[in-house]
Amino acid sequence: MNNSNFQTLGEFIIDKQEDFSLSTGEFTRLLSAIRLAAKLVNKEVNKAGIANIIGAMGSENIQGENQQKLDVLANDIFINALTQRDVVCGIASEENDDFIIINNKKQDHQSKYVVLMDPLDGSSNIDVNVSVGTIFSIYKRISPVGSPVILEDFLQPGTEQVAAGYIIYGSSTMLVYTTGNGVNGFTLDPEIGTFYLSHPNMKIPEKGSIYSINEGNSKSFSPGITAYLEHCKSSENKKPYSARYIGSLVSDFHRNMIKGGIYMYPATESSPKGKLRLLYECNPIAFLCEQSGGIATDGTNRIMEIIPSELHQRVPVFCGCSGMVKDVMQLMEIHDNA
Ligand code: P6P
């Protein structure tokens, strides 16, 4: 393939900067920092098996989950890439109990963006060589520039996101993101370390036949969700559904975006508020989902309209093809309120 035919991510970011006449270039530099970190994490993920950095460090993160070495490394790589470039005033990460205040090297707290991230989602899959991903969400701070960032800068509803995206470290590495004007996917050519625009203007199909849910939790599903799964398995469906669940949100969501499908993580006995985190998993995925024509809900409310109360709060999530999400919501309306 003659890559020079394809626009690079760097060219795309600069082109889009021109869409924002008042752009100072700070946002462009922020996206470029994320691009760099993605390449560095990709290098580590791809050699995890031989670099003897797989396996838990033995420490636990705030979620009480064993921290895989690559979790910690990915977190450090993204934090360093963002911190060294005067592009953010604060970072919140799944791997850090509290948010991080980033001071601007030139002038105190002059940067106006905050980044929330899950640096390596699905990391329990690393040791079994299954795709994992980074998820990020970007907001403008609401507290005054020039002062240290505060918790409220991070507790904004998803509708306030200025950008969101993920990197999927899979059979190929892709960076998929939105700034509110559609979703675009870029594939990394590892030989030259360049992301190329491979999936312009991504649109999730209105209907699909793939459902992603951990049916090991079936005993705690509501009657409406049980009814939906029975619908998916019914022999009366013209086109049979397929169950696909990788245990890695970014991988399941990415596949559903391209092929059509629904990802569900409802409240369960072990995760009564749902397992996925609102701020750095559900909101960015919801932004991408809606920007590509899908729906993202907690079963009742639009994910992006939920007013956050805690940095690491969890919510149930149903996201994907609008037709499929409407179907499960309808059955929950009928059966769960009966
Ligand atoms: P379970 C990974 O830990 C994650 O946050 C998502 O990426 C994934 O979809 C889900 O949790 C898997 O959770 O309980 O089914 O193993």
Q: Which residue's alpha carbon is nearest to atom 13 within ligand 1?
A: 247
Token reading at 25: 């270039």
Q: Which amino acid is at 301?
A: N
Within-domain flag for 13? yes
Q: How far apart are CA 147 and CA 164, in angstroms?
A: 25
Q: Do residue 189 and residue 276 come from a single domain?
A: no
CATH number at 324 reads 3.40.190.80
Within-domain flag for 176? yes
Tell me whether residue 145 is exposed, middle or buried, using C-beta atoms within 10 angstroms of its C-beta: 0 to 12, 13 to 18, 19 or more.
middle
The ligand 1 atom nearest the CA atom of 268: 14
Within-domain flag for 286? yes
Within-domain flag for 20? yes
Q: Note down pLDDT in tens along the chain; length 338 residues.
A: 567 788 999 999 988 887 665 567 889 999 999 999 999 999 988 876 666 655 566 666 667 666 668 889 999 999 999 999 889 999 999 999 999 999 877 777 788 999 999 999 998 888 888 999 999 999 999 999 989 999 999 999 999 999 999 999 999 999 999 999 999 999 999 999 999 999 999 999 999 999 999 999 999 999 999 999 999 999 898 989 999 999 999 999 999 999 999 999 999 999 999 999 999 999 999 999 999 999 999 999 999 999 999 999 999 999 999 999 999 999 999 999 87
Rounded distance from Cα 303 to ligand 1 centre (Å)? 18
Q: Residues enclosing ligand 1, CB less than 6 A?
A: 121-122, 124, 214, 247-249, 252, 275-276
Total domain count, the chain = 2
Within-domain flag for 167? yes
Rounded distance from Cα 247 to ligand 1 centre (Å)? 5
Q: Do residue 150 and residue 113 come from a single domain?
A: yes
Number of neighbours of residue 116 by Cβ within 10 angstroms: 29
Q: How far apart are CA 300 and CA 337, in angstroms?
A: 12
Rounded distance from Cα 265 to ligand 1 centre (Å)? 8
Cβ pair 239, 209 in contact under 8 A: yes
Q: How far apart are CA 245 and CA 247, in angstroms?
A: 6
Within-domain flag for 204? no
Q: Which residue's alpha carbon is nearest to atom 2 within ligand 1?
A: 122
The DSSP call for residue 89 is S
The ligand 1 atom nearest the CA atom of 245: 9
Rounded distance from Cα 81 to ligand 1 centre (Å)? 26
> Of 172, 199, 226, at which residue does a domain stop?
199
Q: Do residue 28 and residue 169 come from a single domain?
A: yes
Rounded distance from Cα 85 to ligand 1 centre (Å)? 32
Within-domain flag for 51? yes
> Of 153, 176, 199, at which residue does a domain stop?
199
Q: Ligand 1 pocket check: which of 65, 117, 214 to mutate, most ligand atoms within 8 Å of Cβ? A: 214
Considering only CA atoms, which of 50, 44, 109 is closest in space to residue 70? Answer: 44
Q: Do residue 302 and residue 330 come from a single domain?
A: yes
Backbone dihedral angles phi then psi of residue 165, each to the nearest 5 degrees: -175, 180
Q: Do residue 157 and residue 229 come from a single domain?
A: no
First-to-last CA distance in the chain? 57
- Burial code of 247-285, b = ≥16 C-beta within 10 A, e = fewer? ebbbbbbbbbbbebbbbbbbbbeeeeebbbbbbbbbbbb
CATH number at 176 reads 3.30.540.10
Q: Which residue's alpha carbon is nearest to atom 9 within ligand 1?
A: 249
The ligand 1 atom nearest the CA atom of 250: 7
User: What CA–CA distances, in Å, run from 201 to 168, 204, 296?
Assistant: 18, 10, 19
Q: Which residue's alpha carbon is nearest to atom 16 within ligand 1?
A: 247
Q: Do residue 171 and residue 288 come from a single domain?
A: no
Rounded distance from Cα 124 to ligand 1 centre (Å)? 9
Strands of 183-189's sheet, edge to edge? Answer: 100-101, 90-93, 113-121, 132-140, 163-169, 173-178, 183-189, 194-199
Rounded distance from Cα 276 to ligand 1 centre (Å)? 7
Q: Do residue 227 and residue 182 come from a single domain?
A: no
The three-state secondary structure class of 28 is helix
Q: Do residue 215 and residue 193 come from a single domain?
A: no
Cβ pair 69, 54 in contact under 8 A: yes
Range of the domain at 313: 210-336
Q: Do residue 179 and residue 300 come from a single domain?
A: no
Q: Ligand 1 pocket check: which of 121, 124, 262 to mutate, most ligand atoms within 8 Å of Cβ? A: 121
Predicted pLDDT of residue 132: 96
The three-state secondary structure class of 290 is helix
Q: Which residue's alpha carbon is nearest to atom 12 within ligand 1?
A: 247
> Of 174, 199, 224, at which residue does a domain stop?
199
Residue 70 neighbours by CB under 8 Å, 6+ apart? 44, 45, 48, 53, 54, 120, 123, 126, 132
Within-domain flag for 150? yes
Rounded distance from Cα 17 to ligand 1 centre (Å)? 35
Residue 213 neighbours by CB under 8 Å, 6+ apart? 225, 229, 243, 245, 263, 264, 265, 266
Rounded distance from Cα 117 to ligand 1 centre (Å)? 16
Q: How far apart are CA 126 and CA 108, in angstroms?
A: 39
Q: Do residue 267 and residue 155 come from a single domain?
A: no
Q: Do residue 54 and residue 179 come from a single domain?
A: yes
Number of neighbours of residue 143 by Cβ within 10 angstroms: 16
Q: Do residue 193 and residue 310 come from a single domain?
A: no
Q: Which residue's alpha carbon is nearest to atom 4 within ligand 1?
A: 122
Q: How far apart are CA 42 and CA 168, in angstroms?
A: 9
